[in-house]
Amino acid sequence: MVPRFKPHRLHVGMTILTLAKVLLLLVCSGGHVFAQVLQGSVPSGVSSEVFLHALRPGSLPTVPSLPPFPSESTQPARNDSDREANQAANSNEASSQQSEVVTTVEFADPKSALPIGSGVANPIQQSISTAPPTPPMQLETKTIGWLDRLGLDPTLPNFLVGYEAVGFRRSNDSVGPYSQGDGLQRFDQDISGRYTFSRLLGNIESIEFKFTGPFHWDKQSNAIGSVDSNLPSSIATSFDGADGHQQSHRVRLSSYELNRCWSGDELSKIFCGLRLFDYDERYRLESTKGVSSSNFLLETDNFLAGGQMGMNLFRPISQRLTVGFGTAIGLYGNFASGSLNATDGATTFVDTSDSGFRVNSMFDICGLINYRVSQNIVATGGYEWWYFPGLATVADQRLSNNAQLSQFSMRSGDDQLFRGWSAGLSARF
């Protein structure tokens, strides 16, 4: 007689088998399921089959359910071989789940990224980046001003401009006498200008350009009646016994300077540079006799080029007012030339010219006064003298005989002094 298992014994055996499977899965998974439970990743209401298979968070695969526990067994008892086959199948299923690829997460501090389900609590919280994507790099465009191209600082004054009215007189202005009629009067004062443009190179240095002039001195005289001349006899017959003599004398002067200046403060200035002078004279005697007329023309021209150096020194009188003096000395080469022409309209008596070169010097001295109107605007004034020790002038050409007409030799040894006042404004910007 074959013994039969009672239902309650079969129920107890199945319960023991189920507990053994749970323990086996816990040992194989290393606490995977309990780690998920602690982290709150397993939703409530999940059946015991989910725990048995150690599912990943958010994944609930469908697993065939175990057969329900029968209240009474209607099947024959399983033998030992069936139980061993069932245990081997469950062991293979647990091993396949344990060999799955482990999922890792990135942390803000990449010290150690622990695999999910390892059972070790990681104190580092997961970093979720919410920063917007980096925009593409854009090149900044900057407009370069013209001061920047020159290497200048736009916040500081870099230039100085100035204008002065200058009134000069020519001291030695006697001519002749080529006519025995009324002589020429003295030259009047001529008012011209001085223009200054300076480029500041730093706190103490600058480059300065100055133009002074052009000065125009003109005078003339008329003599009526029977008038004779003091010209050589070869041409005097056309000018003697004339009904009238008309004389004119014209003088022109211009100055150009290019200086390098050094000024440690506003009370001193030292400079040196190049300077040019253009100085010329023209004398004309026109004689009328009846319907005929004769002309005598004498011209001289001086072009001086060389170097100069000088200084200006000031003494403060108040916060705005300073007084001082300035001086300059230069050495120049004088390229002088002259021409002589005499004609009675039908005949040319003489037409000759001459030129020469000599080394000249020039002295400049002035008294100055400055008044500061504002920080960058200064009113200036002064009185100055220009002395030239050797120039070719009309008055220095003395024609006393016919030999001097045929062999015209220009003289360039006349001393000239120009003097006058100046007043103006200068501004920095």
pLDDT at 406: 80
pLDDT at 28: 56
Calpha distance 321→428 (Å, rounded): 18
Token pair in block for residue 281: 């004279």
Token look-up 């200058």 returns: 166
pLDDT at 41: 46
Q: 46: left (phi > 0), else alpha (psi -120 to 50), else beta?
A: beta
Token pair in block for residue 283: 């004398």
What is the CB neighbour count within 10 angstroms for residue 221?
A: 15
Calpha distance 124→110 (Å, rounded): 9
Question: What percent of the residues of the chain are helix, what percent strand, and what percent coil, each to the nearest 5?
Answer: 15, 45, 40
Q: Which residues contact 121 (CB under 8 A, 6 or more apart)?
A: 38
Token look-up 């050094």 returns: 262
Crossing angle of helices 80-98 and 7-29, in 10° steps, is 30
The b-or-e profile of 91-101 (16+ CB within 10 A means b, else e) is eeebeebeeee
Q: Under a CB-based contact definition with an 8 Å cutoff, are residues 342 and 295 in contact? A: yes
Calpha distance 409→400 (Å, rounded): 13
Q: Under a CB-based contact definition with an 8 Å cutoff, are residues 197 and 206 in contact? A: no
Amino acid at 223: A
Token pair in block for residue 185: 């009067």
pLDDT at 34: 45
Q: Find the radius of gyration of the CA atoms of the chain.
A: 59
pLDDT at 74: 47
Q: Where are the domains of the chain?
A: 1-59+85-96, 158-428
What is the CB neighbour count within 10 angstroms for residue 361?
A: 16
Q: Which CATH number fits domain 158-428: 2.60.120, 2.40.10, 2.40.128, 1.10.1760?
A: 2.40.128
Full pLDDT tens readout for the chain, 429 residues: 444 545 545 555 666 777 777 666 655 555 454 445 444 444 444 444 544 454 455 544 554 545 554 544 445 455 555 566 556 555 555 555 554 544 444 544 444 455 555 555 555 455 455 556 666 666 555 565 555 555 555 567 789 999 999 999 988 777 767 888 887 888 889 999 999 999 988 778 999 999 999 999 999 999 888 899 988 888 888 899 999 999 999 999 999 999 999 987 778 999 999 999 999 999 999 999 888 899 999 999 999 999 999 999 999 999 999 999 999 999 999 999 999 999 988 888 899 999 999 999 999 999 999 999 998 999 999 999 999 999 999 988 878 788 778 888 899 989 999 999 999 999 998
Q: How many CA atoms lie within 13 A of 228 on its CB side?
A: 4
pLDDT at 134: 67
Calpha distance 88→17 (Å, rounded): 13
Token look-up 């003298």 returns: 385
pTM above 0.75, yes or no: no
Calpha distance 361→275 (Å, rounded): 12
